[in-house]
Amino acid sequence: MALEHVTVALDWTPNTNHVGFYIAQALGMYSEQGLAVTFVSPHSDNYEITPASRVAAGEATFGLGPSETLFSYHSLSERPNLIAVATILQQDLSSIATLKQSGIERPQQLDGKRYASYGARYEGRIVQKMIQNDGGKGDFQEVVPAKLGIWNTLLQGEADATWVFSGWEGCAAAIAGIELHELRLSDYGIPYGYSPVVFCHPDTIKDSGNMLAKFLLATEKGFAWAASKHSADVTNLFVEQVDKEHPDLPEGTVPKELVRESVQYMKGSFLHDDGHWGRMDPAVWEGFLFWLQKEGLLTTYIQSRNPVPGTSVTLDELRQGNVGSPLPQERFKLDQIYTNKFLEL
């Protein structure tokens, strides 16, 4: 019987957030479910097309990204209401990082400093609220380097802070002997949501539920395998499969030492307390959505490097309060934003 083709748009070049997908591919877990899975790494177009855009356009079956992606797609009536079907990690392993040598030890010290941004819709305002919650003004410069160079801007002193995954950049810094201050959003009153999540088009929910359940089952097996095996074995299989899938990946993208340290750091976050992968807690979604609404971040204007009056503004303008109108609460129905249903079949 012919395999059903599935395309997964990654949020970043392959890293340990993705380890379960590549393990499932390497061990034939997808093919056992009748699926032929292809991974699209964003390095292939220099991050020009987001995973959400690929899913919305029908170019990918699944995409990976932060939970904010779902809120963004539900805030605009002309976009499909993408829906999250699994979380990759059970805990938020991200932070706002500064170099220890900079002396910046808390968010309020970021006033007047340079923050290296990914240019995301809510990112700068979340960082701004974090600074304000620590007693600062929230007045900083938001610079947007090329995505593959964001981490280097911090290391080279071209930025004072950036958002990192502790399980990747944090481990890379430790290996290199670079000391960081990692500022956790939860320590400053921000109930940040799941990141990354797996999401799909609502038509996939409606028309291809069986395929969706099989994909998630195989992926769960991949992450469970990664959580249960020795980090060195996980590393070897992951790196080998990444090389097979992406022969054009720049050399050094997935160094084995970093992958091994990262797997060891992250493997305790792959599975829920019940031993399953992907489960999402309603309280996490509710808490983050309520916070975004309470703080006035769910608004009509979106970010753009080429703003259109009445529709979009610059990142600086968003932080300065030029955000358009508040979006009605009824626009964001959580039962249409995420579901655990296909993890439970």
Last residue of a domain, one of 230, 255, 280: 280
pLDDT of 333 reads 95
Mean pLDDT of 15-35: 99
Q: Give CA–CA dist 163/151, Å, rounded.
A: 9
Above 80 in pLDDT, residue 178?
Answer: yes
Reported as a single tens digit per residue, the pLDDT across 206-255 is 999 999 999 999 999 999 999 999 999 999 999 999 999 999 999 889 99
- Tokens 């400093």 sit on residue: 113
pLDDT of 179 reads 97
Task: Locate 71 and state its tokens.
Answer: 């809120």
Reported as a single tens digit per residue, the pLDDT across 92-114 is 999 999 999 999 999 999 999 99
Q: Give CA–CA dist 108/98, Å, rounded.
A: 13
* 242, 254 contact by CB (below 8 A): yes
pLDDT of 72 reads 92
Above 90 in pLDDT, residue 308?
Answer: no
Mean pLDDT of 316-325: 91
pLDDT of 329 reads 85
Which residues, other chains included, contact 231 with Cβ-Cβ below 8 Å and sequence gap of 6+?
260, 263, 264, 267
- If asked whether residues 201 and 215 sit together in one domain, one would say yes
pLDDT of 39 reads 99
Above 90 in pLDDT, residue 174?
Answer: yes
Task: Locate 223 and state its tokens.
Answer: 């992450």
pLDDT of 343 reads 97
Reported as a pLDDT band with limits 50, 70 and 90, residue 146 is confident
pLDDT of 48 reads 87
Mean pLDDT of 6-31: 98
pLDDT of 262 reads 98
- If asked whether residues 104 and 52 sit together in one domain, one would say no
Last residue of a domain, one of 226, 247, 280: 280
- If asked whether residues 12 and 143 sit together in one domain, one would say no
Reported as a pLDDT band with limits 50, 70 and 90, residue 167 is very high
Q: Is residue 167 part of a domain?
A: yes
Q: Is residue 338 part of a domain?
A: no
**Structural domain containing residue 127:** 94-188
pLDDT of 30 reads 99
pLDDT of 237 reads 99
- Tokens 């899975």 sit on residue: 37
Reported as a single tens digit per residue, the pLDDT across 257-277 is 999 999 999 999 999 999 999
pLDDT of 148 reads 77
The upper half-sphere exposure of residue 11, i.e. CA atoms within 13 Å in the direction of its Cβ, equals 21
- If asked whether residues 159 and 241 sit together in one domain, one would say no
Q: Give CA–CA dist 19/278, Å, rounded.
A: 14
pLDDT of 303 reads 83
- If asked whether residues 163 and 36 sit together in one domain, one would say no
Which residues, other chains included, contact 148 with Cβ-Cβ below 8 Å and sequence gap of 6+?
13, 43, 46, 47
Q: For the chain, what is the domain count?
A: 2
- If asked whether residues 85 and 207 sit together in one domain, one would say yes
On average, the pLDDT of the chain sits at 95
Mean pLDDT of 200-210: 97
Element housing 119 (H / E): none
- If asked whether residues 214 and 235 sit together in one domain, one would say yes
pLDDT of 310 reads 82
Please tell me what DSSP assigns to residue 35: E
Q: Give CA–CA dist 259/257, Å, rounded.
A: 6
The upper half-sphere exposure of residue 83, i.e. CA atoms within 13 Å in the direction of its Cβ, equals 19
Q: What is the CATH number of the domain that holds 166?
A: 3.40.190.10
Four-CA torsion 99, 100, 106, 110, nearest 10 degrees: -40
- If asked whether residues 43 and 180 sit together in one domain, one would say no
Reported as a pLDDT band with limits 50, 70 and 90, residue 280 is very high
Above 90 in pLDDT, residue 1?
Answer: no
